[in-house]
Amino acid sequence: MKSTDPMLAKIRKLLAKAEDPGITSAEAELFTAKATQLIASYGIDQAMLAHEQGDRAAIGNRRVVLDPPYAADKADLLATIAVRLRCACVRGSWGSDGRREISVHVFGHESDLARVEMLFTSLLVQSATALAQVTVPAHEHKAAFRRSWMAGFRQAVSTRLLQAERRAEQAAQAQHDGGASTSLVLSDRSARVDEAMHQAYPHLHRGRPRTLSGRGGASGYAAGKRADLGGARVGGRQAIRS
C-alpha cells in the first residue's frame, strides 16, 4: 500500500510526469531539479524528526527479485539508489533448473525504503523508455551496448543523488544550527541499518566488479543526467555499501 504522506504524493506526481514519453527534454529537466531535491530533503526531514521524537523503530527490509532481461543491470541500479539513500543491500544469485535468479535485499528505515522503492520504480520506466529510443551502432553487440548504456545511466544517477543528499544535509544542518548534528544523526541511523543487515547475513563477502564491453556508457550517462530522480556468484551473497 502506498504511503499517504503528502510529500511523497507530490514527488510521485513529478516522477509520473517524468515518465511521460511525450514531454520535452526541457520539461524533464525542470521535473528533475524539483524531484531530486524533494526526495533528498524528505529523507533528511524524516531522519531529524525521528531523532527529535526519540523514535528507535526497528529497521525494515525489502527483498526484490529482478526480472530478465538485464536483471543484473537492474540490480545494480537498485543497489546504487539504495546506498545513496542511506540503505544497505545484499545481492544474491541462485541457480535452479538451468536458470539464475538475481535479487537485492534492501535494509533501511521505512522512510528511506519508501524513497528507494518509489525512485527505483520510476527510473526503471525512464531508463527503458530512453534506451528504446537509442539506435545501437551496427558494429556493436546489442546486449553489450545496452548493458554499458545502463551502467552509464546508473553512474549519472549515483552522482546526482550523492550531490542532492549532500545539499540537503548541509541545508538541514544550517536550519538546526545549535541543535543535534545532522551528520551524527545520519551516521547513527546508517550504523543501525548496517547492524540489521549483518544480523540477517553474518557471513557476507564482496563480489567481483562486473566487466562490460559495450560502448554505450556515454549515451547512458547523458540519459541519466536528464532522468527525473523525484556480481555475485551462484549461491552467493554480497553486501553493497557506499
Mean pLDDT computed over 121-131: 87
Q: What letter would DSSP give residue 205? A: B
Q: How far is it, in rounded angstroms, from Cα 91 to Cα 102?
A: 7
State the pLDDT at residue 192. 95
167-182 core/surface letters (b: 16 or more CB in 10 A; e: else)? ebbeebbeebeeeeeb
* pLDDT score recorded for residue 136: 84
Round the average pLDDT of the chain to a whole number and report it: 81
Q: What is the pLDDT of residues 135-160, one digit of tens each?
A: 888 888 888 888 889 999 999 999 99
- Residue 228's φ and ψ, nearest 5 degrees, are -85, 130
Cα 210 to Cα 118, 184, 226, 233, distances in angstroms: 26, 34, 25, 11
Question: Tens digit of pLDDT for each residue in 170-190?
Answer: 888 887 665 668 888 899 999
Which pLDDT tens digit goes with each residue over 25-76?
Answer: 667 767 867 787 888 888 888 888 888 887 677 899 999 999 999 999 999 9
Contact present, 28 and 230 (Cβ < 8 Å): no
Calculate the dihedral angle through the C-alpha atoms of 113, 15, 217, 80, rounding to the nearest 10 degrees: -10
The answer to whether residue 191 scores a pLDDT higher than 80 is yes
Distance in angstroms (rounded) separating the CA atoms of residues 6 and 12: 10
Residue 144, SS3 per DSSP = helix
Q: What does the pLDDT read at residue 9?
A: 86
